[in-house]
Amino acid sequence: MGDKDKKLSRIERLKMARAIKQKEVDHRREKRWKIFSWTSSLLVGSIAGAVAITSKVADVLAWWPHKILLVIAVLVLSAYSILWIRYNGVALKNVWGQVVELDHKLDLYDDISQNETTPESYYKLVSYGNTIALLAATAILIIVLS
């Protein structure tokens, strides 16, 4: 096996490694989206449920123990999902760093990696976690005030 074959073999291995890491990046992005969409659906449902229940209940004072339980449920759901989203965000950032490193080794950085960004790199204010926190605050406010 000559030097040319060894170099080709190395390039092929780097391409395979990059493909594997890119699949992990895609998996982490999809997982974060699924956590966000699932949680936001439940929070919007809890807002709608609180509005529906308060329109049917004549005695608001009798409903306060249920309000406390619902607020606790919203807090736990929101905190847990925000933690999972952030955990996957850190993992995504680490894997993306490995993809960029492989792109440098393959001399692809200027073409590919420079144009792609990890989620939340530009929009830290409008992130999955912040949106869930806003929905949770809205749900709690509606539950408490209803």
What is the pTM assigned to this prediction? 0.74
49-60 per-position pLDDT tens digit: 877 777 765 655
What is the model's pLDDT at position 21?
A: 92
pLDDT for 12-56, tens place per residue?
888 889 999 999 999 999 999 999 999 999 999 988 887 777 776
C-alpha 139/C-alpha 116 separation (Å) is 35
- Which strand (E) or helix (H) includes residue 98? helix 64-105
Rounded Cα gap, residues 106 and 88, in angstroms: 27
Q: What is the pLDDT of residue 137?
A: 95
| Cα separation, 89 vs 99, whole angstroms | 15
Q: Residue range 57-79: average pLDDT?
A: 80
Q: How far apart are CA 34 and CA 131, in angstroms?
A: 14
| CB count in 10 Å sphere of residue 146 | 16
How is residue 115 annotated by DSSP?
A: T
